[in-house]
Structure 1
Amino acid sequence: MIDNRRTLQRDRWRELDRVTGIAGIVATVVLFAPIIAISTLGEPGFTATPEQAAEFFRNGDTAWVTAAEATAALGMLAFLWFVAGLTTLLRRAEGEPAWRSTVALVSGVLVAAYGVIDASWDAAFSRGSELDPAVAIFAFDLGNLGFANAWLALASFAIAAGWALLTGRTLAAWWGWWVIVAGAGLIIVRFAWESFAWTLPYFVFWAWVIAISIRLLARPTVSPRSG
């Protein structure tokens, strides 16, 4: 009976490994596919002029862009599943008090909430043909500054998750340091948000998400603790 319970418990943790890995890969694909598609409309840089912002939103006043924005929001919900699964695994590995895993969970929820709730660009695209440049640049900057602030929440998740990985010692240390470095970089680039320097730590972070998702799918990562 005890052996059966242990087997069932182990199977449940392995199921969580798989679900978390799938969620991480789905989140990355579903989030970036629409973002890349929307960028083909001629998205200007963060320092766009009002006229450039207005033209961008006018170009995006189409049904497929509306669908793409909704798809990106679904990607953020998938990221929330990844965050919930990963922090559950980290909590078990970290042991009590599992405060690092808790910080990672709350920070990840903030990131997902931003991705679902922020509708500044959605609203601008839906009225793109009617926007004057002053309103367009406000919506454009509002979306970009919200995105830049989200880097800080993403950094908090990355650093807390990496620290929990180092504490739990269920994976090689470089898994933890990889995401910690990405998180530190996201904090630094927030103070130079108008440059393209943000792309480096941002994509380093998402590369880590893909890598650890594959690792979770390949074989169990967190072994059950005794007791």
Structure 2
Amino acid sequence: MVDVDVQTQDRWRRLDRITGIAGVAATVLLFTPIIAISTLGEPGFDGSRAEAAEFFSAGDTSWVTTAEATAAVGMLAFLWFVACLTTRLRGSEGEPAWRSTVALGSGVLVAAYGVIDASWEAAFNRGSELEPAIAVFAFDLGNLGFANAWVALGSFAIAAGWAILAGRALAAWWAWWAIVAGAGLLVVRFFWEGWAWTAPYFLFWVWVIALAIRLLARRVPAPAPNDLRAQQ
């Protein structure tokens, strides 16, 4: 068993706490506005022009603007979760830590989409003045962007799960949970208009919140230095 300096253990423990806090914050800040906005009568992905126009017109209010801004902050919290988690995984995976690097890049793509994509925000901003043809274009643009984000999210989940398997910082079932959710997200991109996407999507976010609670509640062993790992 490798002895690890107490201060090093404390630093890794602080990283785990930050990761857990960021994961919880991201989930709350993302899903609270999503649930609130859905109460406006959000159509399905195949909604008509009239339904899209009515939806954006109903959302032409100040609280929807606040909700959209909150979701953007939630994506930044998710970026913190991704960066902290992949730092932890890189430490346990060892060099070359390519799985953790792929997970980091994929998570950055997801966060960038969440912050930069403003198709729905623009449509809500003057929703009462929006013509049906423009409304359905903005609606589809936002939905297709969301569907493309599943691919990046799936890549993050698969790479993170694979890194967990390689580094053995957590039990293997944490890794397989993420990998199954990630593979599901890749598959459902081809069936984006239905409701099949909800199963792997929510499976992924349950993994995030469960992992965040795990990191907050229980100590995870600090990763061993790479040169010592090779001797074990």
The TM-score bracket by the shorter chain reads: over 0.9
| CA deviations over 1:26-79 (Å, ceiling 9, x no partner) | 100010000000000000000000110000000000000000000000000000
Does residue 10 of the first structure (1) align with residue 9 of the second (2)? yes
Q: How does 1:138-157 map to 2 (within 5 A)?
A: 138-157=137-156
Structure 2, unaligned runs of 5 or more: none
Aligned counterpart, 1:28: 27
Aligned counterpart, 2:219: 220
1:89–1:222 Cα contact (<8 Å) kept: no
> Sequence identity of aligned pairs in percent?
75
Aligned counterpart, 1:108: 107
User: 2: distance between equivalents of 1:36 and 1:224?
Assistant: 38
| CA deviations over 1:143-194 (Å, ceiling 9, x no partner) | 0000000000000000000000011112111100001000000011000000
User: 1: distance between equivalents of 2:62 and 2:221?
Assistant: 44
User: 1: distance between equivalents of 2:198 and 2:57?
Assistant: 26
| CA deviations over 1:83-139 (Å, ceiling 9, x no partner) | 000000000010000000000000000000000000000000001011000000000
User: 1: distance between equivalents of 2:179 and 2:8?
Assistant: 31
User: 1: distance between equivalents of 2:76 and 2:36?
Assistant: 19
Aligned counterpart, 1:175: 174
Does residue 185 of the first structure (1) align with residue 180 of the second (2)? no
For residue 184 of structure 1, what is the amino acid of its counterpart?
A
User: 2: distance between equivalents of 1:79 and 1:133?
Assistant: 34
RMSD after superposition: 1.1
Does residue 72 of the first structure (1) align with residue 103 of the second (2)? no
User: 1: distance between equivalents of 2:35 and 2:97?
Assistant: 37
1:25–1:210 Cα contact (<8 Å) kept: yes
How many residues end up aligned between the 2 structures? Answer: 224
What is the TM-score with the length of structure 1 in the denominator?
0.97
How far did residue 6 of structure 1 move? Answer: 2.0
Structure 1, unaligned runs of 5 or more: none
Does residue 136 of the first structure (1) align with residue 130 of the second (2)? no
User: 2: distance between equivalents of 1:224 and 1:202?
Assistant: 30
How far did residue 222 of structure 1 move? Answer: 4.1
What is the TM-score with the length of structure 2 in the denominator?
0.95
1:159–1:183 Cα contact (<8 Å) kept: yes
